[in-house]
């Protein structure tokens, strides 16, 4: 444990923890999407067919990374933020950190019409890596589709069971007690190595959904980092307390930001 405390985990150039994450979009109108992508100066078409690199420049030059304290931006060699790939009626964003994923969702929501593509899910890793640790070769090695879907279905099934119990509760107080017990139990569970977040497609306010995604990821990032430093008992419940304090007016330091 002493060795780990002396050894920092791997971070990306903008300061946040290296935690691979893949955003998946439904491709709704390929022609309209290609037109939008071609207009963005922050994107560069790759040699590989239907693949682009997203750079920290031009339209996204003002994206903010509070975790950056010593990184010196070079306008001649802008930082690569992500890769974008079109495949099988899907659009994939491959990113090296949770922060970049949160920025990407809001940025491209504003830049690309929802008639061209729509966010569907995010697959990510619930751990941080040692600097000398062997890194996975691509997202195919990281994510098992059957396992990710199993986790999502189990989460939905558990939630619906609790919802039904709340609806049949004898009083509002009993319903609240059931929901509170469920929340505490979920927060103490061991996080899986890989996990999936499914976006609500019919949300009236996408900004609220994006904020929920940020809070969801931030809690998991906090758990991974705290456990790296030996706090094995640190749970999502602890992360939730810190997150709400910091997101909604607290004075703490925001790791993702």
Distance of alpha carbon 250 from alpha carbon 241, whole angstroms: 10
With 80 as the cut, is the pLDDT of residue 234 above it?
yes
Convert the pLDDT of each residue in 154-187 to its tens digit.
Answer: 777 777 777 788 887 788 878 778 777 777 776 6
- Tokens representing 180 are 């509170």
Which one, of 90, 148, 85, lies nearest residue 118 by Cα? 90
The rounded mean pLDDT for the chain is 81
Structural domain harbouring 117 = 2-247
- Between the CA of residue 111 and those of 23, 28, 35, 161, 219, what are the distances in Å? 16, 15, 11, 39, 28
- What is the reported pLDDT for 26? 93
State the average pLDDT over residues 14-21: 88
Residue that is written with structure tokens 């491709």 in the block: 27
Task: Flag whether 254 is in a domain.
Answer: no
Predicted model pTM: 0.80
**121: enclosing H helix or E strand:** strand 117-125
User: Checking DSSP bridges between strand 21-27 and strand 90-95, what pairing results, if any?
Assistant: antiparallel
Convert the pLDDT of each residue in 77-136 to its tens digit.
Answer: 888 999 999 988 899 999 999 999 999 999 999 999 889 999 999 999 888 888 877 766
Exposure letters 11-45 (e unless 16+ CB within 10 A, then b): bbebbbbbbbbbbbbeeeeeeebeebbeebebbee
State the average pLDDT over residues 3-31: 84
Q: For residues 96 and 65, is the Cβ–Cβ distance under 8 A?
A: no
Task: Flag whether 253 is in a domain.
Answer: no
Task: Flag whether 113 is in a domain.
Answer: yes
Beta bridge pairs of residue 117: 27
Number of domains in the chain: 1
110 or 246, higher pLDDT: 110
Confidence class of residue 140 from pLDDT cuts 50, 70 and 90? low
49 or 86, higher pLDDT: 86
With 50 as the cut, is the pLDDT of residue 252 above it?
no
- Tokens representing 18 are 């290296």
**35: enclosing H helix or E strand:** helix 30-39
156 or 215, higher pLDDT: 215
Cβ neighbours of residue 201 closer than 8 Å, sequence gap 6 or more: 118, 120
- What is the reported pLDDT for 249? 52
245 CB neighbour count, 10 Å cutoff: 12
Task: Flag whether 30 is in a domain.
Answer: yes
Task: Flag whether 256 is in a domain.
Answer: no
- What is the reported pLDDT for 138? 65
8 or 203, higher pLDDT: 8
Task: Flag whether 255 is in a domain.
Answer: no
């Amino acid at each position: 444990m002493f060795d780990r405390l002396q050894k920092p985990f791997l971070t990306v150039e903008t300061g946040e923890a290296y935690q691979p994450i893949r955003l998946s979009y439904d491709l709704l109108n390929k022609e309209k999407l290609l037109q939008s992508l071609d207009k963005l100066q922050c994107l560069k078409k790759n040699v590989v067919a239907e693949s682009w690199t997203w750079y920290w420049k031009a339209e996204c030059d003002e994206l903010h990374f509070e975790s950056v304290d010593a990184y010196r931006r070079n306008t001649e060699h802008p930082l690569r933020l992500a890769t974008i790939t079109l495949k099988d009626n899907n659009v994939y964003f491959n990113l090296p950190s949770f922060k970049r994923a949160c920025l990407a969702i809001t940025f491209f929501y504003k830049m690309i019409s929802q008639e061209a593509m729509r966010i569907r899910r995010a697959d990510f890793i619930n751990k941080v890596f040692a600097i000398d640790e062997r890194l996975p070769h691509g997202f195919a090695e990281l994510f098992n589709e059957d396992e990710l879907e199993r986790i999502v279905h189990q989460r939905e099934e558990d939630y619906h069971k609790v919802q039904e119990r709340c609806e049949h509760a004898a009083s509002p107080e009993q319903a609240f007690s059931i929901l509170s017990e469920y929340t505490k139990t979920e927060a103490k569970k061991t996080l899986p190595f890989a996990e999936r977040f499914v976006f609500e497609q019919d949300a009236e306010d996408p900004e609220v959904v994006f904020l929920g995604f940020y809070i969801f990821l931030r809690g998991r990032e906090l758990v991974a980092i705290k456990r790296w430093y030996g706090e094995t008992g640190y749970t999502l419940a602890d992360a939730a307390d810190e997150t709400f304090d910091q997101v909604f007016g607290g004075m703490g330091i925001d790791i993702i930001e």
